């Protein structure tokens, strides 16, 4: 009696290019000791093909395991030979290798230069016909599981290449694609605040790629990005993480895996807020004084002489020092080399104000802070900007000639003048 407890073996469909002509493809896929696929699709006008036109050639029964995927991963499954159908499409790129460069196992490595020809339109019609028939017989093949060899083995393979018309297949009802409007929305978002490389790695894995989140743009990740771009951004195959690529991954997740997309977007928002906060903390803030510092400095100068030392402008007999502490604390503070007499201990969250009138001189002064105790204490040190004093009364009779000249100019039609004279921190003429 038949059991109700079973599932389909075939979960994915993998498309390849042969990289060699029809005759050599048959040898490689049919002769003992080689590779195999379930189907082979020739192209038009191949001199090595007696048939001379695209057609469906079955090589391995769909119920059997063909040897086309090799070491592979997709959507949590490894060894895709066990649960996929493979289609080899005759298409021959022209590739050159630079022997002087470091070797790479990846077919899209930097030591390899390839020229990819367009696919034969008649051949693609046959591919679409075959794929639609396969999917009708294997309903467990989801749109996101119609993939290329490079998607499932991005560290090794580059087929079916950037010229394969994935979007044309999607328009025919085969495979996955994003919505352009959604892509544009995500692109604008990631232009404003780029996603971290770790987030992009997680997003690629959520869609199906065998990417490991490392937080760095390692070689394997860049290979995966190249494979993704060849499939979904064939006009932009840079192999680099950017806002277009991240937007395309998220647009696909938005359409096919919304729960994973929501979780990743939540993470993005948290990382975005942290990035903004970090950037703001590193920008020059609004200073409340010419000296406005928290000590000890978590990023001190390597030069011992300038450590916790500050220069400030003052006038003789003027100036103020303001100190706040996060904990009960003590410190040694000196101005122009003279130690100030301060409270033995600063209470937490209190504000202390000390006059510097006996220590300052006209011009540049120095402030030094040391011996902050306990070690975990932090002092907020401020020296306000100097304020101008109004001393016009003492100088009112010294500018009579200037006043007469200005009044004469006004009488002769000059619209007026505003004059302010400052000397040694005092306004002497206004």
pLDDT digits (tens, 9 = 90+) for 216-241: 999 999 999 999 999 999 999 999 99
- Range with the largest mean pLDDT of 38-42, 192-196, 377-381: 38-42
- Range with the largest mean pLDDT of 103-107, 300-304, 351-355, 399-403: 351-355
Model confidence, pTM: 0.66
Give the Cα separation of 71 and 220 in Å (integer): 14
- Arithmetic mean of pLDDT over the chain: 88
Q: Which long-range contacts (CB under 8 A, 24 or more apart) does 166-175 make?
A: 166/231, 166/232, 166/234, 168/124, 168/128, 169/124, 169/127, 169/128, 169/131, 172/128, 172/132, 173/132, 174/128, 174/131, 174/132, 174/135, 174/143, 174/146, 175/143, 175/146
Per-residue pLDDT, 339:
92
With contact defined as beta carbons under 8 Å apart, do 336 and 361 qualify? yes
Per-residue pLDDT, 309:
84
* Residue for token pair 């916790």: 308
Q: Which of 138, 14, 2, 8 is nearest to 72 (CA)?
A: 14
Domain spans of the chain?
A: 12-272, 291-383, 389-429
Question: In this predicted model, what pLDDT tens digit does every residue of 310-348 receive, in sequence order?
Answer: 888 999 989 999 999 888 999 999 999 899 998 888 998
Question: In this predicted model, what pLDDT tens digit does every residue of 79-115 receive, in sequence order?
Answer: 999 999 999 999 999 988 776 665 666 666 667 788 9
Give the Cα separation of 330 and 335 in Å (integer): 17
Give the Cα separation of 117 and 131 in Å (integer): 22
Q: Inform me whether the pLDDT recorded for 301 exceeds 60.
A: no
Per-residue pLDDT, 207:
99
Give the Cα separation of 229 and 378 in Å (integer): 50
Give the Cα separation of 22 and 298 in Å (integer): 68
Q: Which of 64-68, 77-81, 120-124, 398-402 has the lowest mean pLDDT?
A: 398-402
Per-residue pLDDT, 29:
93
Give the Cα separation of 270 and 265 in Å (integer): 9
At residue 407 the predicted structure's pLDDT band, cuts being 50, 70 and 90, is confident
Catalytic residue selected from 62, 88, 320, 412: 88
Question: In this predicted model, what pLDDT tens digit does every residue of 4-53 receive, in sequence order?
Answer: 555 678 999 999 999 999 999 999 999 988 899 999 999 999 999 999 89
Cα first-last separation, the chain: 109
With contact defined as beta carbons under 8 Å apart, do 227 and 240 qualify? no
Per-residue pLDDT, 9:
82
To the query of whether residue 88 is one of the catalytic residues in this protein, the response is yes
CATH class for the region spanning 291-383: mainly beta
Per-residue pLDDT, 376:
84
Percent of the chain clearing pLDDT 70 (strictly above): 88
With contact defined as beta carbons under 8 Å apart, do 228 and 167 qualify? no
171-192: average pLDDT: 97
DSSP β-bridge partners for residue 410: none
Burial readout 142-157 (b: 16 or more C-beta within 10 A, e: otherwise): bbbbbbbbbbbbbbbb
**Domain at 12-272: CATH code:** 3.40.80.10
Q: Inform me whether the pLDDT recorded for 304 exceeds 60.
A: no
- Neighbour-count burial of 174, counting CB atoms closer than 10 A to its CB (0-12 exposed, 13-18 middle, 19+ buried): buried
């Amino acid at each position: 009696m038949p059991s109700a407890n079973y599932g389909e073996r075939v979960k994915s469909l993998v498309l390849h290019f042969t990289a060699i002509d029809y005759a050599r493809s048959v040898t490689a896929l049919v002769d003992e000791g080689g590779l195999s696929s379930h189907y082979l699709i020739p192209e038009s006008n191949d001199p090595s093909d007696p048939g001379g036109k695209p057609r469906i050639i079955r090589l391995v029964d769909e119920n059997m395991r063909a040897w086309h995927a090799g070491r592979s991963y997709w959507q949590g499954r490894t060894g895709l030979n066990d649960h996929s159908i493979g289609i080899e499409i005759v298409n021959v790129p022209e590739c050159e290798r630079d022997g002087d460069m470091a070797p790479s196992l990846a077919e899209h490595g930097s030591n390899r230069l390839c020229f990819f020809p367009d696919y034969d339109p008649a051949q693609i019609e046959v591919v679409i016909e075959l794929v639609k028939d396969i999917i009708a017989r294997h309903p467990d093949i989801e749109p996101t599981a119609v993939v290329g060899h490079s998607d499932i083995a991005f560290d090794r393979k580059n087929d079916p290449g950037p010229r394969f018309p994935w979007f044309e297949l999607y328009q025919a009802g085969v495979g996955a694609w994003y919505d352009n409007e959604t892509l544009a929305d995500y692109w604008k978002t990631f232009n404003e605040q780029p996603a971290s490389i770790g987030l992009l790695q997680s997003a690629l894995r959520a869609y199906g790629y065998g990417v490991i989140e490392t937080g760095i743009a390692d070689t394997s990740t860049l290979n995966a990005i190249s494979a993704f771009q060849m499939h979904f951004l064939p006009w932009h195959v840079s192999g680099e993480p950017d806002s277009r690529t991240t937007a395309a991954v998220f647009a696909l997740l938005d359409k096919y895996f919304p729960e994973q997309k929501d979780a990743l977007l939540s993470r993005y928002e948290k990382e975005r807020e942290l990035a903004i906060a970090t950037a703001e903390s590193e920008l020059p803030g609004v200073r409340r004084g010419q000296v406005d510092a928290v000590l000890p400095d978590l990023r001190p100068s390597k030069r011992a002489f300038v450590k916790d030392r500050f220069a400030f402008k003052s006038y003789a007999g003027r100036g103020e020092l303001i100190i706040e502490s996060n904990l009960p604390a003590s410190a040694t503070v000196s101005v122009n080399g003279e130690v100030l007499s301060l409270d033995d201990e600063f209470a937490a969250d209190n504000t202390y104000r000390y006059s510097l009138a006996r220590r300052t001189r006209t011009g540049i002064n120095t402030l030094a802070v040391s011996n902050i105790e306990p070690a975990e204490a932090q002092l907020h040190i401020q020296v306000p900007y100097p304020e101008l004093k109004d001393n016009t009364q003492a100088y009112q009779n010294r500018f009579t000639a200037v006043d007469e000249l200005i009044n004469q100019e006004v009488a002769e039609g000059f619209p007026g003048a505003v004059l302010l004279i400052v000397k040694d921190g005092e306004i002497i003429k206004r």
